[in-house]
Amino acid sequence: MNWTIEISCMILLTSFTGSLFFLAWYAAGRCLEKAGYVRAKYGLLKIVLVSFFLPVSYVFLKSKVIISINKQQHKIIFVGRRKPG
């Protein structure tokens, strides 16, 4: 059960990160296209596509925050920061 919650969190956070990058790409892409930088727009699109596949935000949260899972209520509780060392 624990691994299913971990994978679900990873998919959710990766989708959220990719969507934020897509919105930023869309806004920047309109300006770049008007200025004539179509190749730069295409390069930024590659970064957006990678952000949909790599779970960077999930890995960041796992390394910085202790995530406790309450098994009785199936809730994820963010306890606090990990202590160094």
pLDDT in tens, 18-75: 999 999 999 998 888 888 888 888 888 888 988 888 887 777 777 665 555 545 555 5
Per DSSP, the three-state class of 72 is coil
- The model's pTM: 0.64
pLDDT grade for 10, boundaries at 50, 70 and 90: confident
What is the C-alpha separation between 85 and 78, in angstroms, rounded? 20
Going from the C-alpha of 38 to that of each of 28, 29, 35, 66, the distances in angstroms are: 11, 8, 8, 43
**pLDDT value at position 9?**
82
Q: Helix (H, G, I), strand (E, B), or coil: what is residue 14?
A: helix
pLDDT on residue 58: 78
Q: Which amino acid is at 62?
A: K
**Residue 84 tokens, joined:** 């160094």
